[in-house]
Structure 1
């Protein structure tokens, strides 16, 4: 507020100073005309001299001079505004690469910095929007094409029972994948539309996390993964079904990216009124670029799409925790696995 008030005061002083300078220049020009006319004998400086015609003419000349001076002087303080207006037109046309560099006064310099930051954010949003559409199309198109292709093979060719079962299994698996993707998209859309968290209950957070681990047993037992569990008993007031999705997604990712016969470390403790949950895997890890975008919709570090997933789990985790006034962070280095850390208030306020 103080900074905004200071800007308003400076702009007022700038405008007042401009008007004052304009008046001084106009009066000086008018006086110069009168003195010039007196010296050349065009008018008499004696008392009672007939001055009305000349004063009328000099007044018109003064107005013309003042208007001309104001036109040229106003061009300089308004130049930054014209630059800004031109840049805004460029942005409205979809050019987010435009940058402005205003150095004087200080307020215009800060304005240009804010404008450039805005265009960078818009460029990032536009790139994300484009990637979102491409990834969304890919994730839906791939199983549909697969289902259509194998269905045509089943219809058009004489296949033995073994091949038919194989193709049917593929169709069933792709249908399951498409169904899960649709359900996840709808779930994420529903969660993102929430502004107020309701249906809070008191429950054991440590017990909920243990249940999530057991629900994923078919996946981690298949890879012979061990768990190193260090969880304190923590009670929490929260939306139980939503929070369960957080642990399911994080633990499922840990299992997915861990190697066979690997180990996943899970910990839970209280810290300053927050439940702090950590899950550490022994996977391939992530570089800084992947970590930067890992919570964006449809973003996948594995661009080859060899790893099963749709890039919606972590955005869902982030949004659910935001509704609980919590947060999630990741620490990772390529080749050293990843650690996800969740902090969430236990009192539900």
Structure 2
């Protein structure tokens, strides 16, 4: 069994070369048979016409001696002479061998016709008696039929066969050598890919295959490098996720543990005891929200999260969210500007409600007292745009591309004070994506932030993967 690609490629290419050579020769001979036949015919006619011409000019008394001498001058052709009675005489033939000429063919030539018999069989060097031309010859008032045929000795035939075999062997050897080189060129990047794949399987994501080719193997290497980069990024995200979760859990646990120990002190004041219990309660709620958000985000990303579309008034839903946050924005004396024309959409109301809660909650948190928040609906034929804008602290340009990442906090101190865990925007974006919508942010530090959410008026349930 062939176990290496290199050997498989070499054997395949070698088989292709051998097959091509074996097929090429008969095909070439088939294509060039007419050319060879024409050349042989021209040569035989030339020899025959010269003999006829010389016989007329010199009118030899002994025609047979004349023809015998002419064949002795060259070893390239043989002659057969038929008299008027059809009796043959061979010249230049071994063992007085006669050509294969039918009586009716002899009769045709004796009557003055020229006969051409060129039945070459695709490069086979046949008996010359089967390939000939016949010419009418008249000497001393007698009629003759002169047939001229090419003369191939057995030695000549063997030399031709040997030459052809030699050429085929040389072609095969050169082709095989070139195949060995070409196969290395083909297999080398695959070996690199195999080594890189083994390293990747062992957990080493810092792999890169250097292949400068632009063919299919080059595209494969490029795809592998892209995959390795994505896996490296995924591994980094996993490590960051574990680190962030550990950090988010450790901080409230530390507070709970510390204040729990403080509560055990016998001389603690009643006022301090209540304050410590409030802190423990707040940190416990923070842990609960973190756990709930993690479970919700995992459910959304698993694509098996329940999706329950209903038709409802989006403008009314937004008003209810504003009313829910009334204590917070009233406490900061914020101005809310609502531009909410009536619009119905078909979507998962509970999921979208969480999006508005998150975005409006963030706007209230990061808008200074006496600030302004604007909520606007823009309705199109099959889409609706929800704009939530504040004039708060804004978001830096370098942070805008990352605010939707899990646990990312553009302002660590403010997020800590407000109990944020950096998962709200990640959940909001995932919900919008489930609804086949889009969320984008536009912001300038110190000038406020605008979130633009685009939703289809009818959202279909996402496809479930088995």
Is the partner of 1:293 in helix, strand or coil? coil
Q: Is the 8 A contact 1:267 1:279 kept in 2?
A: yes
Is 1:345 the equivalent of 2:456?
yes
Structure 1 counterpart of 2:378? 269
Is 1:123 the equivalent of 2:232?
yes
Structure 1 counterpart of 2:207? 98
Q: Is the 8 A contact 1:196 1:323 kept in 2?
A: no
Structure 1 residue 103, shift from structure 2 partner: 2.1
Structure 1 residue 63, shift from structure 2 partner: 10
The counterpart of 2:427, out of the listed 316, 322, 326, is 316
Aligned in 2, Cα 1:26/1:77: closer, same or farther, shift over 3 Å? Answer: farther
Structure 1 counterpart of 2:357? 248
Is the partner of 1:265 in helix, strand or coil? strand
Structure 2 counterpart of 1:236? 345
Aligned in 2, Cα 1:202/1:181: closer, same or farther, shift over 3 Å? Answer: same
Aligned in 2, Cα 1:276/1:24: closer, same or farther, shift over 3 Å? Answer: same
Structure 1 residue 186, shift from structure 2 partner: 2.5
Larger RCO, structure (CA 8 Å, separation 6 or more): 1
Q: More displaced, 107-116 or 277-286?
A: 107-116
Question: Gapped runs of 5+ residues in structure 1?
Answer: 1-13, 28-44, 50-54
Which structure dedicates a bigger proportion of its chain to strand? 2
Q: Is the 8 A contact 1:191 1:320 kept in 2?
A: yes
Is 1:335 the equivalent of 2:459?
no
* C-alpha separation in 2, matches of 1:193 and 1:98: 29
* C-alpha separation in 2, matches of 1:177 and 1:196: 23
Q: Is the 8 A contact 1:197 1:324 kept in 2?
A: no
Structure 2 counterpart of 1:142? 251
* C-alpha separation in 2, matches of 1:135 and 1:173: 20
Aligned in 2, Cα 1:182/1:230: closer, same or farther, shift over 3 Å? Answer: same
Structure 1 residue 285, shift from structure 2 partner: 2.3
Q: How many residue pairs were aligned?
A: 314
Structure 1 counterpart of 2:387? 278
Structure 1 residue 214, shift from structure 2 partner: 1.1
Note the 1:174-213 alignment, pairs <5 A: 174-195=283-304, 198-213=307-322
Q: Is the 8 A contact 2:255 2:283 kept in 1?
A: yes
Aligned in 2, Cα 1:316/1:68: closer, same or farther, shift over 3 Å? Answer: same
CA deviation map 1:165-201 (0-9, x unaligned): 2211211211221222222223333333444764322
CA deviation map 1:275-326 (0-9, x unaligned): 2101112233223432222222222222445343011111211222222222
Aligned in 2, Cα 1:89/1:272: closer, same or farther, shift over 3 Å? Answer: farther
Structure 1 residue 131, shift from structure 2 partner: 1.1
Aligned in 2, Cα 1:111/1:284: closer, same or farther, shift over 3 Å? Answer: farther
TM-score of the aligned structures, taking structure 2 as reference length: 0.60
Q: Is the 8 A contact 2:17 2:172 kept in 1?
A: no
Is the partner of 1:306 in helix, strand or coil? helix
* C-alpha separation in 2, matches of 1:196 and 1:312: 17
The counterpart of 1:82, out of the listed 191, 197, 202, is 191
Q: Is the 8 A contact 1:25 1:66 kept in 2?
A: no
Is 1:223 the equivalent of 2:357?
no
CA deviation map 1:219-249 (0-9, x unaligned): 2222221112212111111222121111101
Q: Is the 8 A contact 2:299 2:305 kept in 1?
A: no
Aligned in 2, Cα 1:240/1:121: closer, same or farther, shift over 3 Å? Answer: same
Structure 1 residue 155, shift from structure 2 partner: 0.5
TM-score of the aligned structures, taking structure 1 as reference length: 0.78
CA deviation map 1:28-60 (0-9, x unaligned): xxxxxxxxxxxxxxxxx78899xxxxx9xxx9x
* C-alpha separation in 1, matches of 2:16 and 2:302: 56
* C-alpha separation in 1, matches of 2:11 and 2:456: 54
Which structure dedicates a bigger proportion of its chain to helix? 1
Note the 1:21-40 alignment, pairs <5 A: 23=18
Structure 1 residue 153, shift from structure 2 partner: 0.8
Q: Is the 8 A contact 2:407 2:421 kept in 1?
A: yes
Structure 1 counterpart of 2:437? 326
